[in-house]
Structures are given as structure tokens and as C-alpha cells.
Amino acid sequence: MEINGSVGELFCHDHYVTDKCYDVWVLGELGLKNARTKLFTIGSISDAYWPLGVDSNGGFLFSIRSSRGECLVRYRSSNQETETLLHLGGSSLQLVMYAESLVSLKGGNAFIH
């Protein structure tokens, strides 16, 4: 995932506890011994099931399991608050990241009008 223009990752302290903490790391210059830098820790997010990604405003997206089903939640590090974006009932949540491209998936280099 991209965090502040750098390659980043979230590390879960203990996946088997209810209230998980996540460390946010970014990758610095490749080839250096200590290329990763810890930015901060996201404190206990109740019922956090899985980190999904980072939105365009720097918020961290998580899948949360509650008694009402799965939810999409955004955590904002600026004010350390969570916001529920979507309730999915009993459905499973998956986030797919994509980048627009002008390259044809069919292959070749011909452009058809």
C-alpha cells in the first residue's frame, strides 16, 4: 500500500486478540540495512478484523466484524477517530485496488476506434 508517497505496510501486534494494535511502517531507500521507518501505532480498534488499505485522504480502511455483520471503517490518524462507512450485513468484505491504464488487456499495440 502507498503511505505518504512511499511503500508502506501495517503490522498487527497480535491477530488473535479482540482489540488489535497496528504499527504503520514505510519503506525508505532500498538496499539500506534499516530501510523501514515506523511512523506511528494505531491503538486498539475494537473488533478490527483485517486492514484493507489507505484511502486518498490518508485514512486507513479496516474490515470490522460486529453483531450486525461486517463493516467498512476508516481510521484517521490526524484525530485518532474511526468512522463507519458501510454496513454489509453478513457479507464478506474485500477491497480491490486498481490504477487506470491505457494499455490494452487484449495485448498487442493496435488501437481500435
Can you tell me which residue has the cell 491477530? Answer: 15
Residues 6+ apart with CB under 8 A from 94: none
Average pLDDT, the chain: 71
Q: Which residue has the higher pLDDT, 7 or 41?
A: 41
The pTM (predicted TM-score) of the whole model is 0.60
- Decide if pLDDT at 35 tops 70: yes
